[in-house]
Structure 1
Amino acid sequence: MRALDLVIVAVFLVGTPLLGIALGGRQRSSTDYFVGSRRIPWWAVTFSVVATETSTLTVISVPTVAYLGNATYLQLAIGYLIGRVLVAFVLLPRYYAGNLVSAYGFLGKRFGPGMQGTASVTFLVTRLLADGVRLFATAIPVKIMLDEFGMDVSYPVIVAAIALVAVIYTYLGGIRAVIWVDAIQMGIYLLGAIAAVFVLAGRLPDGWLAGAAGEGKFQLFDFSSNVVTNQYAFVTAVVGGALFAMASHGADQLMVQRLLACKNVRDSQKAVIASGIVVFVQFALFLFIGALLWSFYGGRTPGELGLTASDELFPKFIVEELPPGLSGLLVAGILAAAMSTISSSLNSLSTSTISDLYQRFTKRPLPDAVVLKQAKLWTLIWAGVFVVFASLFTTTDQPVVELGLSIASYTYGALLGAFFLGILVKHARQADAVVAFLSTVAVAAVFALGGEFTVDGVRLPLAFPWYVPLGVVVTLVVGGLLSLRHGAPDPKATAVAEQSRQDA
């Protein structure tokens, strides 16, 4: 009967690129490839943003967070919504005012090409690491399913196959194909998750709800005074989550590119705020699944269940416990979540490479046909690099959702801080911004690689939600102090402000 699951997954893998090509249509210009000529409906962009950030990490790893702990992870979603509201009214109007296709184009206009290139390179490295984790996470349930059939396929091979499917429609359909396929893929994984809830709820013993509640599985708020190292303390999660969302949706090309595909700034604002509401509901859904799994398995540890990694909990249930067909649908949903992230990353990496780096280094205007050709070429190059990076994460004991967020947090503070520096400190020049940016990355590296605090006699690292706030503060302080050397505001700051007023 498991053959039905393989058929469903196979149909999904074959049908997805065909659907993407059909929906994407022909790409006639680089603007069409990068931002869909700004003709995408805001609700489709909302679904694409949610699908992109959800990825496999949410589908298989967020349930693990609740299984091993409780629902305090949802506090991050509260901060995420606050941060998106700020992005909508602080950053998006500036991007539309400059008619940009890259988030870092704003830094180029405000400071100069050096700062734009520095931010773009940082984005490229961060995306490779963070989405490398996501791509690897997708291979986990696929490998478990193949093992059930006695097929010993390595993680790198699975990763390469997934990346190949995603790159086909990304290469041929551009951002329009990515967004529309994202919206459909979101429906697939949500349908699978809801079905899993009903199956789980129907197989639990009487009194499971009271038992799970008694173990604190539904605890939402954590008002712990340890806000430094406890990543889910209320203040840490909400403040850190808000600034993380400002960085991820306002200073990260992966999300900004989708928002710039809307018809106008008002539609873009609706898309980003609505995505915050949908993400909150999604987090609640997958945390609830984690509590159900805890009740189903009687609270046994992953090791007691014969698992080598905690993130195999939900995939184990999907493959072993769900009826044929539904199991295949959920595996397809996990693949859908991964492909939405990978295809989005490939498109944004290509866009940033061409608009922020390639055209800067050539130092001459390029025909649009050449820009479009180079964009597609770099989509293929980044796909190959992705497979290599994803293979680096084949062994980790940490829930991969936390690992992915931690990696992104290392550089998000510097990126968001650079945007704030450009907006708030009019005297700051390009050299000030670059030095402040690099100083922030160095400080984040110190905390990421060894900075610890002693709490109740135990050495613990700084909670990952604080990396972004720390980075913003360091960038503003260093850049602000360096800007005191200049007696007058930067002419570029005046020009950007004047353009914003004219476009408004």
Structure 2
Amino acid sequence: MRARTPARLAFERASCPERTSRGFEDSASASPLRCAFQKIGAAISGNSDSAFVIRSVDHTSRGFEDSASASPLHCAFQKLGAVLPGNSISASFIRSVDHCGPWSAVRLMIAALLAMALAPVAPAPAGFTALDWSVVVVYFLCVLALGIWFARRQKNAGDYFLAGRRIPMWAASISILATTLSAVTFIGAPEEAFAGNLTYISANLGVVIAAVVVAVFFIPVFYRHNVTTVYELLEIRMGTNAKLGASAMFMLGRIFASGSRLFAAAIPLSLIVFGNIEPQHMVQSILMIAFVAALYTTFGGIAAVIWTDTAQVIILVGAALVAAFLLVQRIPESPLEIGRILAESQAADGSSKLALFDFRTDLSLPYTVWSAIFGFSLLNMAWYGTDQDLVQRMLTCRSAFRASMSLILSAFIAIGVVAIFLALGLLLYVYYARPDIMGAAAPALDIADTRRVFLVFILDEMPVGLRGLMIAGLFAAAMSSLDSGLNAMASTAVSDWYRPLRRGKSDRHYLRVSRLAVALWAMALASFACICVWWQQASGEGLLQFALGVMVFAYAGLLGVFLTAIFTKRGSSVSVCIALVAGFVTVLFLQNAPALGINLNLSLGWRMLVGTVVSFSICASGRPKRRDSTVQAE
């Protein structure tokens, strides 16, 4: 038997003092990874004998007795086992961190965050059974296994960020769809229809307009210049400072956008684990989800992100269809009669529950036809054309044509998926808010917090097993947007900032730095998501409006800059940086104008329009140093 290092001895003492696992009476024979999984299972389910898939991961830790030869995954779980609740961290364990370097130290920090999140776990709601937990756990383990499998196929940073441009068009399309969907869609879209009507679907007119514009004018330019990040285009066009300014604004905006989605994903987890959505429990739930997303994204790269997105979309849509089918079965009326009831019902603003389009010219209304055409089209144009998170998926295709087609296809599919979740909200309205229709079968529900309506149905009304599938579908929505954000921010940080500063390093070096960047960004997203716990309540906006609204801050400036770069010969690095800041400040001012006593209440679509116009005007005022520096699409 190999000699055990001080780090391993410390881990064994801290994480597995009893060594009571079946077949591992000898403390020297039980794998540390096994013990770590045991303690995770005990913390989640309250059962110290929980052994979900423990045996299946034993082999990953054998043969790594020496910490110097241990795989990154093994090393991370070793540290996780030592800091989980109920364990003391011995001095010898702390000293062992010195041997692992800064990358392992960051992994230890993430493990410590997870430990804090798991410490005060309360019993799960009575309706959530062991079978439900098994479904959720199997989902998480499959996602993690897929990330590890793709990690073995990576040879350099190009494989990590662009998957060698080997991704088929249909997979890229589904991944784009998965990125635009999130836990916000899963929870927020039913909430919109439950409390209002179907006018949110009109916002998707802007999605189609934006997809066509980006496919025709933006994507060919990106492929012609063979960029890894879209901000390299600005370097070609306006100089290095323009690229750095845009990439910095993207990373700030992505923290806002992905952080708000992480906050939304924590709502169901908090309800399941703690039975409420109190702030302290929300924070702990945020840390749990951030850890899992960071773990498989760190090792798998963009290929793992895209293929897990494909599986997650199937789970997400399948879960929604199952819920809709069950609701139709539970409501004691035919589908045609349900439609008639909804047509006669009114939303809070007096419109029909089945209203699809709102032609009013009130600029404070979020989902009118006019805000969709002039506001949401720009918002989605910025999302599809200037956000590395989404563009990165298109850049994994073999050609610009395939990338463009994947974008347009995903835009049309997205409309159908959103329609499914809005229909769910209408069915939930009949089920919970119309006891005159439900009769004696009407369930009791306090609908003061409409964010909970779909989650309450899942936890209280869904059959055993299917309940777990639904929650897995919700987590699929959360992970599909979170993993992509982490990978995109890491690729931008490494390609635009780190690589120019540390030239001449090996591909392996840049790959390790890329994985380190994912871990750091995960902590940043978790921090902002914690802020959203209080910010969203203070804003008074619905979950969907809030999540879309925080995206506008960075997107207004970015879109103005890219429109200048692609459609004009104007602009300079100085005007780019000023335009980015001006767009952000303009949106910030417009959002807070009513609070400042200014009679100017614009919805998020109109804020996007004004911010983009301001940014474009300022950026185009700059004079380029080289008059021939245009990158206009041919």
TM-score normalised to the size of structure 1?
0.91
- 2:53 matched residue in structure 1: none
Q: Which has the higher contact order (CA 8 A, sep 6+)?
A: 1
| Stretch of structure 1 that moved more, 94-103 or 439-448 | 439-448
- 2:379 matched residue in structure 1: 244
Deviation at 1:174, TM superposition (A): 0.5
Contact 2:548–2:604 (Cα < 8 Å) also in 1? yes
CA distance in 2 between counterparts of 1:208 and 1:354 reads 53
* 1:174 equivalent in alignment to 2:301: yes
CA distance in 2 between counterparts of 1:76 and 1:92 reads 23
CA distance in 2 between counterparts of 1:389 and 1:435 reads 25
CA distance in 2 between counterparts of 1:465 and 1:91 reads 22
Deviation at 1:84, TM superposition (A): 0.5
- 2:11 matched residue in structure 1: none
CA distance in 1 between counterparts of 2:151 and 2:417 reads 27
- 2:252 matched residue in structure 1: 125
- 1:80-106 CA distance string (max 9 Å, x none): 011011000110011111111101111
CA distance in 2 between counterparts of 1:134 and 1:427 reads 36
* 1:56 equivalent in alignment to 2:183: yes
- 2:553 matched residue in structure 1: 410
- 2:266 matched residue in structure 1: 139
1:322 aligned residue (462, 481, 496): 462
Number of aligned residue pairs: give it: 486
* 1:341 equivalent in alignment to 2:506: no
Aligned CA distance change for structure 1 residues 114 and 321 (closer, same or farther; 3 Å): same
- 1:283 matched residue in structure 2: 418
CA distance in 2 between counterparts of 1:435 and 1:460 reads 24
1:274 partner SS: helix
* 1:213 equivalent in alignment to 2:343: yes
* Amino acid in the other structure paired with 1:438: V
1:390 aligned residue (529, 539, 549): 529
CA distance in 1 between counterparts of 2:387 and 2:279 reads 37
1:104 aligned residue (222, 227, 231): 231
1:196 aligned residue (323, 327, 335): 323
- 2:453 matched residue in structure 1: 313
Contact 1:421–1:433 (Cα < 8 Å) also in 2? no
CA distance in 1 between counterparts of 2:503 and 2:270 reads 48
Deviation at 1:372, TM superposition (A): 1.5
* Amino acid in the other structure paired with 2:549: S
CA distance in 2 between counterparts of 1:44 and 1:122 reads 28
Structure 1 stretches lacking a partner, 5+ long: none
Aligned CA distance change for structure 1 residues 317 and 106 (closer, same or farther; 3 Å): same
Aligned CA distance change for structure 1 residues 356 and 306 (closer, same or farther; 3 Å): same
* 1:73 equivalent in alignment to 2:203: no
Contact 1:71–1:220 (Cα < 8 Å) also in 2? yes
- Identity, % of aligned pairs? 32
CA distance in 2 between counterparts of 1:374 and 1:429 reads 31
Contact 1:452–1:462 (Cα < 8 Å) also in 2? no
CA distance in 1 between counterparts of 2:316 and 2:301 reads 22
Aligned CA distance change for structure 1 residues 490 and 427 (closer, same or farther; 3 Å): farther
| Stretch of structure 1 that moved more, 370-379 or 49-58 | 370-379
CA distance in 2 between counterparts of 1:479 and 1:147 reads 49
CA distance in 2 between counterparts of 1:59 and 1:407 reads 18
* Amino acid in the other structure paired with 2:264: A
Contact 2:155–2:507 (Cα < 8 Å) also in 1? no
Deviation at 1:409, TM superposition (A): 1.0
Deviation at 1:279, TM superposition (A): 0.6
- 2:135 matched residue in structure 1: 8
Deviation at 1:463, TM superposition (A): 0.8
Contact 1:417–1:473 (Cα < 8 Å) also in 2? yes
* Amino acid in the other structure paired with 1:294: Y
- 1:30 matched residue in structure 2: 157
- 1:136-168 CA distance string (max 9 Å, x none): 11121222223469x998222222221222122
CA distance in 1 between counterparts of 2:381 and 2:551 reads 13
- 1:305-360 CA distance string (max 9 Å, x none): 33563211111111111111111101000001101111111100101111122234
| Stretch of structure 1 that moved more, 203-212 or 68-77 | 203-212
- 2:172 matched residue in structure 1: 45
Contact 2:428–2:454 (Cα < 8 Å) also in 1? yes
Deviation at 1:183, TM superposition (A): 0.4
2:199 partner SS: coil
Structure 2 stretches lacking a partner, 5+ long: 1-126, 346-351, 436-443
Deviation at 1:189, TM superposition (A): 0.9
CA distance in 2 between counterparts of 1:469 and 1:452 reads 21
CA distance in 2 between counterparts of 1:439 and 1:275 reads 32
CA distance in 2 between counterparts of 1:330 and 1:451 reads 40
- 1:9-29 CA distance string (max 9 Å, x none): 121122211123224542101
* Amino acid in the other structure paired with 1:212: L
| Stretch of structure 1 that moved more, 347-356 or 236-245 | 236-245
Aligned CA distance change for structure 1 residues 272 and 152 (closer, same or farther; 3 Å): closer
CA distance in 2 between counterparts of 1:12 and 1:152 reads 27
Contact 1:229–1:453 (Cα < 8 Å) also in 2? no
RMSD: 2.4
Aligned CA distance change for structure 1 residues 429 and 363 (closer, same or farther; 3 Å): farther
Contact 2:210–2:381 (Cα < 8 Å) also in 1? yes
- 1:401 matched residue in structure 2: 544
Structure (1 or 2) with the larger CA radius of gyration = 2
Aligned CA distance change for structure 1 residues 448 and 99 (closer, same or farther; 3 Å): same
Output aligned runs, 1:472-487, within 5 Å: 472-480=612-620, 482-483=621-622, 486=623
Contact 2:569–2:630 (Cα < 8 Å) also in 1? no
Deviation at 1:429, TM superposition (A): 1.9
Contact 1:133–1:400 (Cα < 8 Å) also in 2? no
Contact 1:95–1:103 (Cα < 8 Å) also in 2? yes
* Amino acid in the other structure paired with 1:113: T
* 1:444 equivalent in alignment to 2:574: no
- 1:115 matched residue in structure 2: 242
* 1:468 equivalent in alignment to 2:611: no
Contact 2:561–2:576 (Cα < 8 Å) also in 1? yes
CA distance in 2 between counterparts of 1:179 and 1:9 reads 20
| Stretch of structure 1 that moved more, 192-201 or 427-436 | 427-436
- 1:271-302 CA distance string (max 9 Å, x none): 100010011001111110000000001259xx
Contact 1:453–1:462 (Cα < 8 Å) also in 2? no
Contact 1:415–1:437 (Cα < 8 Å) also in 2? yes
- 1:381-401 CA distance string (max 9 Å, x none): 111222222111224243222
* Amino acid in the other structure paired with 2:628: T
* Amino acid in the other structure paired with 1:321: E
